[in-house]
Amino acid sequence: MPVVRRVFGQDRVRTLSLPQAAFVVPPGSPPEAAQEVAALRATLGEGVTDGGTLTHRAAVSSLIEGGFSGLLHFACHNAFTSAGSRVAMADGPFDPIDLAYATQSHALRASRPMVFFNACRSAGEIEWFSTSLGWAPQFLRAGAGAFIGTLWPVRSDSALLFADAFYNQFVGKGQPLGEASLRARRAIRDHGGDPTWLAYAVYGSPAACAAAP
CA nearest to 67, candidates 3, 112, 25, 29: 112
pLDDT at 213: 64
Q: Identify the structural domains of the chain with CATH numbers, from first to last.
A: 15-211 (3.40.50.1460)
pLDDT at 87: 98
User: What's the pLDDT band for 184 if we cut at 50, 70, 90?
Assistant: very high
- Check pLDDT > 90 for residue 132: no
User: What's the pLDDT band for 79 if we cut at 50, 70, 90?
Assistant: very high
User: What's the pLDDT band for 172 if we cut at 50, 70, 90?
Assistant: very high
- Check pLDDT > 70 for residue 59: yes
pLDDT at 40: 97
User: What's the pLDDT band for 10 if we cut at 50, 70, 90?
Assistant: confident
User: What's the pLDDT band for 212 if we cut at 50, 70, 90?
Assistant: low
- How does the average pLDDT of the chain come out, rounded? 94
- Check pLDDT > 90 for residue 8: no
* DSSP states of 24-90: E--TT--THHHHHHHHHHHHH-TTSEEEEEE--HHHHHHHHHTT--SEEEEES--EEETTEEEEEET
